[in-house]
Amino acid sequence: MQKKLAILVPLIVFSFRATAQNETFYKTDKVGEKYAYVDVIKTYEKVAAKGYKSVDLFQKLGNSSYSQCELEKAAEWYTKLFALTTDLDPVYYYRYAESLRFISENEKADALIEKLKRKPKTSRKS
């Protein structure tokens, strides 16, 4: 009995290993040497240039420009954002004010910060 068990256990183990190594590979057609890369921000800019306006679009464009230290562009996008709505998180007020200060529109930035100070504090849930 022990001989049969000693032979049976290794056969079972090796049979599992043999099936685990048997993989199927599928060959696909090669489209090209390079991967497709889409610059989302450039796409958003093209959409905005065609006249499409939305809070989400201007937030993304402004945030992208701000994070890349392109504060002049950020000021432009945040201006368009604030033209649509002022019901925004305080971070947008600060980024817009900082962008305005960068392009030497300090009075406008000060007015924006004052507007933020007078804005009623509400807890927003996202």
pLDDT tens digits, 9-63 = 666 766 665 554 455 544 545 555 555 556 788 888 999 999 999 999 999 999 9
How many residues does this entry show for the chain?
A: 126
From residue 8, alpha-carbon distances to 5, 17, 24, 87, 107 in Å are 5, 14, 28, 73, 86
Identify whether the C-beta of residue 103 lies closer than 8 Å to the C-beta of residue 71: yes
The first and second tokens of residue 5, run together, are 């068990």
Identify whether the C-beta of residue 91 lies closer than 8 Å to the C-beta of residue 69: no
pLDDT digits (tens, 9 = 90+) for 97-108: 999 999 999 999
pTM: 0.65
